[in-house]
């Protein structure tokens, strides 16, 4: 049976842990509002940029654009070539199943493409460490970006886009897949696995083909291919920036929820330990009283 001293030490340690988890919850709660505002500000820009690229691509005839360097971002490459994975995770733990679900999705993607040459672009220490531990895979981490959360900015998205373009063009990868956590609410996140490159199938979701008509005629300056070529890097950067902000907000929400649950469990544990301590102390007092009474009766006898 544990002594009173052991129980008091246990209570003290749990109280210390509760203070830490409560502080982490409050920090995450203070940051989540700013992260939500950043998402709300970036979503319309990313959506409108996607619509602009789609409209401009639909305006082009095949002959107007096929010779442009940016046309490589739309072409479907022969199947069986190398693949690239862009994985966005957290730098730290203590955020519930946030990282676990991401790593499961990444592991499933790697399992499906086992046997092929794979390149990885990793954001976050958890994803980087996970991929480094993998064996028996033809996997190369081509670029990593760690320590940017919770202050992810557009400059980080541009840096990611530059390295993704470099890998896509120099390594001749078949496609680039992006896996990240999308912020849905304070209690829910959704794993997103979408194809980032090539762009054609994504741009033509609405069924428009090059040379199709969508709205009124416009006069373009510079010409359409040059404008599209200039906009495409910004488009990919905007999509990556949105993914970073979504992941950042989802991580903060997951951490706040996990720390709230940990603080609640700590309170319940403290209550149970306090009750146990009181029962132990009461039993000790009762035992001492019985010994005193027994000694008194023995002396009186």
Which residues are the active-site residues?
95
Structure tokens at 15: 């109280």
Using only C-alpha atoms, what is the Rg of the chain?
29
Chain-centre distance of CA 117, in angstroms? Answer: 25
Q: Give the closest residue to 167 by CA, choosing from 220, 136, 129, 122.
A: 122
d(CA 190, CA 51): 23
Triad 129, 194, 43: Cα angle to 5°: 100
Cβ-based neighbour number of residue 131 at 10 Å: 23
d(CA 64, CA 71): 10
CA distance 250 to 181: 7
Distance between alpha carbon 262 and the CA centroid of its chain, in Å?
21
């Amino acid at each position: 049976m544990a002594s009173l001293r052991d129980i008091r030490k246990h209570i003290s340690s749990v109280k210390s842990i509760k203070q830490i988890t409560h502080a982490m919850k409050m920090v995450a709660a203070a940051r989540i509002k700013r992260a939500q505002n950043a998402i709300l500000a970036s979503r319309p820009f990313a959506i409108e940029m996607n619509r602009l690229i789609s409209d401009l691509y639909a305006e082009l005839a095949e002959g107007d654009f096929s010779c442009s360097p940016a046309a490589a971002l739309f072409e479907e490459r022969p199947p069986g070539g190398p693949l690239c994975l862009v994985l966005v995770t957290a730098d730290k733990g203590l955020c519930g199943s946030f990282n676990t679900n991401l790593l499961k999705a990444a592991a499933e993607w790697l399992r499906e493409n086992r046997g092929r040459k794979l390149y990885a672009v990793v954001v976050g220490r958890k994803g980087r460490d996970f991929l480094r531990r993998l064996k028996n895979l033809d996997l190369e981490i081509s670029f990593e970006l760690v320590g940017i959360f919770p202050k992810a900015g557009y400059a980080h998205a541009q840096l990611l886009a530059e390295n993704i373009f470099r890998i896509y063009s120099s390594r001749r990868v078949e496609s680039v897949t992006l896996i990240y956590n999308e912020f849905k609410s304070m209690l829910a996140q959704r794993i997103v696995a979408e194809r980032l490159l090539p762009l054609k199938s994504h741009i033509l979701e609405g069924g428009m083909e090059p040379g199709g008509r969508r709205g009124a005629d416009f006069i373009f300056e510079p010409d359409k291919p040059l404008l599209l070529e200039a906009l495409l890097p910004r488009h990919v950067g905007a999509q990556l920036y949105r993914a970073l902000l979504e992941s950042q907000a989802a991580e903060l929400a997951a951490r706040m929820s996990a720390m709230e649950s940990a603080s609640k469990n700590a309170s319940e544990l403290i209550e149970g330990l306090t009750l146990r301590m009181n029962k132990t102390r009461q039993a000790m007092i009762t035992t001492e009283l019985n010994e005193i009474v027994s000694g008194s009766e023995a002396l009186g006898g």
